[in-house]
Structure 1
Amino acid sequence: MAIEGKVEAELELKSTPDMYFKRLKSEIHHAPNASSDKNHAIEVHEGDWETPGSVKLWTYTIDGRKETFKEKIEVDDQTMTVTMVAVGDHVLDRYKNYKLCVQIVPQENRAVAKISITVEKNDADVPDPHDYLQHVISVAKDIDEHLVAQS
C-alpha cells in the first residue's frame, strides 16, 4: 500500500504572473542568481531549458545539507503550471515518488504562486516534505524579489 504525503503553500507575488511563469518555464537557470545561498547550480542533463520533458540537475543546500535533484519538467501553459518530477538523486532516498507543482494564478492587481509537493513515501517513518516545501518557498520569494529588482 502506498503511503502518500502532500504539503501546500501559497505565496503572493510582487512580479507579474507572466514574468514569474516565464522564469519557471524557460529561464530557471537564473534561479542561482536570485538565491545563490540556496541554489548553487542548475544544469541541463537532457534536452534544453525550454522543452517540456527536459531533465535538469539542481545542486542546492537545504537545512545545511548539500543535495542534488534531478527532475523532468512538465509545463501547462493554459493553467500556468510548472511541474518538476524527480527522476533521480537525494530526494528519492526519502521518497519513492516526488512531484513539485507551482501554479501561477493571476488575480486582480496581483498574482499568487500555489506550491504543492506530493510524495509517495518509502516507509511510514518518513516525514512529509515540509523541509523541501520551506526551501521551495524561500527560493520562490528570492526569484520574485529578483524579478521585481530587474523590472
Structure 2
Amino acid sequence: MAYAGKLGFQMDLKASADKFYGSIRDNTTLFPKIFPDKFKSIQVLEGDGWSVGTVRFWTYALDNITESQGNLIDLVAKEKIEAADEANKSATFSIFEGDLSNFYKNIIVKLYVTPKSEGSSVNWCMDFEKVSKEVPDPNLYQDFVINIFKDLDAYLCMP
C-alpha cells in the first residue's frame, strides 16, 4: 500500500526571478557561504553542479532536530537534478539516500520561479511516498525551505 502525499507553497519575493533562480542554480557554493549554520557542505558527486543528471551530497541541519545537549544534528541527503529549464526558471530534483530515506521511499521536489512586475514568485512542491502510514508528512522540511527562501530573498536584496 502506498502512502503518498504532497506539500507545497507559493511565496512572493522582492528579488527578481533571474536573481532568485540564479541563486538556486548556484546553491552548491552559495548556500554554505550564506547559511553556514544550516548547510555544512554541498558536494557535487556527478555532473557539473546544475545540469540534468548532476548528483549532489548535502550535509545540513534542521532547526528542530537536536541532540540531548541541544546541538543541531547534521543530516545528509543525495539529490539528483532531474530537470532544469533556464528559460522557464524551473527545476525538478529527486532526493534519495540519506536520512530522509528512512522515512520516505520517493521524494520529488519541483521549483518554479515566475517574474512579476516587481520582484518574483516562487512555487515549491514536494511529492513524497512514506515508508508507512505512521510516518508524518515532511512539514519540517517544508518549513525549513520556506525559511531559507525568505532569508535568501533578504540576502539577495541587500544593498
TM-score (norm 1): 0.91
Question: Is 1:81 equivalent to 2:90 in the alignment?
Answer: yes
Query: What code does the residue aligned with 1:140 have?
Result: F
In structure 2, the partner of 1:105 is 114
Equivalent residues in 2 for 1:63-142, closer than 5 Å: 63-64=64-65, 65-73=73-81, 74-142=83-151
Displacement of 1:34: 2.2
In structure 2, the partner of 1:148 is 157
Equivalent residues in 2 for 1:32-43, closer than 5 Å: 32-43=32-43
Structure 1 gap ranges (5+): none
User: What secondary structure is seen at the aligned counterpart in 1 of 2:23?
Assistant: helix
Displacement of 1:71: 0.1
Question: Is 1:17 equivalent to 2:17 in the alignment?
Answer: yes
Query: What code does the residue aligned with 2:99 have?
Result: H
User: Considering only aligned residues, what root-mean-square deviation do their CA atoms show, in Å?
Assistant: 1.5
Distance (Å, rounded) in 2 between the aligned partners of 1:33 and 1:82: 22
Structure with greater strand share of residues: 1
Greater C-alpha Rg: 2
Q: How many residues align?
A: 149
Structure 2 gap ranges (5+): 66-72
Displacement of 1:77: 2.6
User: What secondary structure is seen at the aligned counterpart in 2 of 1:138?
Assistant: helix
